[in-house]
Chain A
Amino acid sequence: MLGWELPPNNSGGLGVACFELCKSLAKKGADIEFVLPYTAEHDIDFMRITPAHPQNVADVVKAGIAYDSYKYVFRDGHTEWIDIHGQQQMYEHAVDRLIRESDREFDVIHAHDWLTFRAALRVKQQRGCPLIVHFHSVEADRAGREFGGNPLVREIESMAVLMADQVIAVSEHTKKAIMREYDIPASKIRVVHNSINPNDIQLLDPDNSYKYLTEMRVQGYHVVTNVGRLTIQKGLPNLLRAAKEVIAREPKTLFLIVGSGDQYFELLQLSADLGIAKNVIFTGFQRGKRWRDSYAIADLFVMPSVSEPFGLTALEAVGYGTPALVSKQSGVAEVMKNCLTVDFWDVAEMANQITAFVRHAALRDELHKNAYREFQKLSWDTSADKLFTLYSEQLQGAAA
């Protein structure tokens, strides 16, 4: 399996999805070698993790979020920072060499997202085994659909869907995006939804990290949260515009924006320009207890993404006790019926729904109760079952 990240060195959902899928697959007996582009310690015993180091590189140190540069430490001691395209190429060649020198045998190549696709094609070239490319997101979506995204990335994605034996999308929403962007017939794409393991939800510490918000709630304030990368795909400017309308009607509403990303400064400035800076709190990227507490402290989780292939955070929110309002352009609504939906561009309707939530505790409680019932039935095992079936099909196909 070729992947770009695993927890705890993940920047978001991609790493979590890979980790959980592999864990469930391993339980079913899959023997997985997971090839990463960087060096790190993992507490993982259910599969083999191999760092793919380019020639003459001793260490690759991952910095921050997915699209940052990585630090390459060469054997002669010098270091270089390499950007995302450079990394993608380094990974491709490193994997190529790794497989050439490896005597392990593989039945199926499973590659996650465009960064690994060229490497995967190299492996297929060498070994000839079936190739499954797994889309956790599509370039056009990441770019907010405005311009179709980076042409170099599009080229890789488009080549991969043509040459792969099987394409997997994390939602019907993403399947449609792949068909739309790359003219691939529906029959070549299968949907394997992301999921969540209810048992992985950790017990909440009653002592929430947000002392200020806890106090404000006592004073009758409500908290609306978003957890995610601050980038164009996530549609946060519209949430802030909706927030202005909500605050005009319910001044005791606070918006908690958890995450980091290229839109951080822009969003700070926008909250000030809209005149709501006092009601919008930016926390930066958080992990662990603070991350869980960000869900738990809120009355409502809002995910206003312009286009969200899946949207694991909405399920996490429900797991930690907070119902979700998600954009209609999100995959997660396909597996969770009990969430509110709104078009990402419909600021007035977004404001309307948030205001209703802030005003009516009964609405919030009822939605969460029903959402939580659905949540408890979810499992990554279901997703892994589907993958296992796909692997078998591919192997039979390869044998035939």
Chain B
Amino acid sequence: MNQRAIVLYLHVHQPYRVRHYTIFDAGVHHNYFDTPYEDRTSNERIIHKVAEKSYLPTNKYLLELLQKYPEFKLSLSITGTVLEQLERWAPEALASFQELTRTGRVEIVAETYHHSLAFFYSREEFEAQVRMHREKVQQLFGQTPKVFRNTELSYNNDLAYWADKAGYKGILTEGWDKVLDWRSPNFVYRPAYTENIRLLMKNYKLSDDIAFRFGDRGWSEWPLTADKFTHWLNESGDATNFNLFMDYETFGEHQWDESGIFRFLHHLPGEWLKQPGNTFMTVSDVIDAFEPVDHVDVQQTITWADTERDLSAWLGNNMQAQAITGLYALEKRILGTGDLALIEDWRRLQTSDHFYYMCTKWFNDGDIHAYFSPYENPYEAFVAFMNAYHDLLFRLSKKGVKI
């Protein structure tokens, strides 16, 4: 009997949103991320809301599933910025994640602590953030990540080469048609120019059926049941692994409880495990279990976002480009101060979400962007960010750094 596994991988992340920060704050208040609780950009309020709507109920269901089905396994990536916020404002939600990992069947995936795009701007900074994340995961979950994912599942040959050298056994990205061509994402691959590392590619069709289309009453497949979904998988022909990669907040936040998403999750393992040979694997398990079927060459950066599957949602317009290049241009000067608070603020500003909020692709993808943004429009996001940038300059200047 051939084994076929669902590889469920959920990404947990919250940024430190920049408040309505004006030029009159620059040089006066350095609290870019603090705002009254009722404000749209209040990080504390948002973490409370997401914990209540998503983290706590989802973890409750996941724990039940782990207890009920010995075969059930999943993988999580949790950024440093969300872990800090959970520690500070929602410790019960953090405890519920720790309870999951204590089952030994939940694997934590490596990434940058600050959910940044540092790989594309500064290799040193990128490595520092990966190190910070590894230490945080070891401290909170007692495990050392073995598989890597870069922010927004951004990926290219360079990154795979780096991850291979850094000793990771696997790396995750989008199963984008332009890269896979005629091939299926439902197998293990090997990145081009590497030997040891393996590549897992998201089955975006199946993942997005859950993450994006689940609650859409206009969708021809609505309502999606666990029964129907597993039927699709069972009828998929040749496959070893179904890579269901999505934002953790799909459960309860992007798809509300009312949509039936929790019932779907609750029934999925039972339905899937009915057929002999069907199982669940973590990202490490699947790499151990199956040999790569081919190598995949990705010369241009791909991501899991938007219809373009590139970095254009973060770096596609000049506001985004100016903001991010301005920020990374400060690297040496900021790190040179040795001022930990300043360095941390600079790193928090690297979180990719800030640039996502500045995206001006209004149509098709734009509505998704608007849903996730705490700002009225991309311009407001840009101005708040740049004012914080100006304040970084002010702080450098006060320390006698030439600017």
Contacts and interface: CB of A to CB of B under 8 A. Distances in A.
A215 B379 contact: no
Q: Which of B26, B387, B389 has the most CB of A within 10 A?
A: B26
Contact of A215 (B27, B322, B402): B27
A219 B401 CA distance: 10
A215 B24 contact: no
Given A264-B379, A277-B326, A269 B391 contact: no
B334 interface: no
B229 interface: no
A392 B116 CA distance: 73
Question: Main SS of the interface on chain A?
Answer: helix
A281 B318 CA distance: 16
A278 B377 contact: no
Nearest to B395: A215
Contacts of B321: 272
A211 B27 contact: yes
A268 B397 CA distance: 25
Given A264-B379, A277-B326, A215 B398 contact: yes
Contacts of B105: none
B166 interface: no
B322 A216 contact: no
A218 B24 CA distance: 17
A64 interface: no
Contact of A272 (B27, B322, B390, B402): B322
Contact of B26 (A211, A265, A290): A211
B97 interface: no
Contacts, number: 72
Given A212-B390, A215-B397, A219-B397, A277 B318 contact: yes
A256 B390 CA distance: 13
Interface in B322-348: 322-323, 326
A212 B393 CA distance: 9
B382 A268 contact: yes
B394 A268 contact: no
Contacts of B398: 215
Contacts of B379: 264-265, 268-269
Interface string A265-294: 100110011010110011110000010000
A281 B23 contact: yes
B386 A211 contact: no
B28 A278 contact: no
A214 interface: yes
B23 A272 contact: no
Interface string A211-226: 1111110110000000
Given A215-B394, A215-B398, A269 B26 contact: no
Interface of B: 22-24, 26-28, 317-319, 321-323, 326, 360, 377, 379, 382-383, 386-387, 389-391, 393-394, 397-398, 402-403
26 contacts: A209-B24, A211-B24, A212-B27, A212-B391, A212-B393, A213-B23, A214-B27, A215-B27, A215-B397, A216-B393, A216-B397, A265-B379, A268-B382, A268-B383, A269-B318, A272-B318, A272-B319, A272-B321, A273-B318, A277-B386, A278-B389, A281-B387, A281-B390, A282-B383, A283-B22, A284-B22
